[in-house]
Amino acid sequence: MTTTASGAPPRTREAGLPWPALLALATAVFITSLTETLPAGVLPGMADSLDVGAGAAGQAVTVYAAGTALTAIPLAAATASVPRKPLLLGAMAVFLVANTLTALAPGYAVLLAARFLAGVAAGLAWAILAGYARRIAPAGSEGRAIAVAMTGIPVALSLGVPAGTLIGEQVGWRAAFGAVSLATLAVVGWIAVSVPAVGRPAAGGAGGDRPGLRRTLAVPGVAAVMVTVAVFVLGHTVVYAYVAPYLRHAGLGSVTDAVLLAFGVASLLSIWCVGRLVDRRPRALMVTGAALFTLATSALALTGAHPVVWVAAVLWGLGWGGAPTLLQTAAGRAASRHGAAAADTAQAVLVTLWNAAMALGGVVGGLLLDSSGAGAVAATAAVLGAVALLVVTGGRRHAFPGA
At 34-81, the pLDDT tens digits run 898 788 667 778 888 999 886 677 778 778 988 988 888 888 888 888
Spatial neighbors of 235 by CB under 8 A, at least 6 apart, are 293, 297, 361, 380, 381, 382, 383, 384, 385, 388
Give the integer Cα–Cα distance in Å for 60 and 163: 19
**Is residue 133's pLDDT more than 80?**
yes
Phi first, then psi: give them for residue 16, nearest 5 degrees.
Answer: -85, 170
For residue range 143-202, what is the model confidence (pLDDT) as tens digits?
A: 788 878 878 877 786 677 667 767 777 888 999 899 999 999 999 999 999 999 986 655
- Can you say whether residue 82 is alpha, beta or left, with left for phi > 0 and alpha for psi between -120 and 50 degrees? beta
Q: What local confidence, expressed as pLDDT, does residue 56 receive?
A: 79
Give the integer Cα–Cα distance in Å for 119 and 113: 10
Query: In the chain, where are the structural domains located?
Result: 17-200, 206-403
Phi first, then psi: give them for residue 383, nearest 5 degrees.
Answer: -60, -45
Composition of the chain by helix, strand, coil, percent to 5: 80, 0, 20
Task: Name the class of domain 206-403.
Answer: mainly alpha
Q: What local confidence, expressed as pLDDT, does residue 307 receive?
A: 95
Task: Name the class of domain 17-200.
Answer: mainly alpha
DSSP letter for 15, please.
S
Q: Is 17-200's fold the same as 206-403's?
A: yes
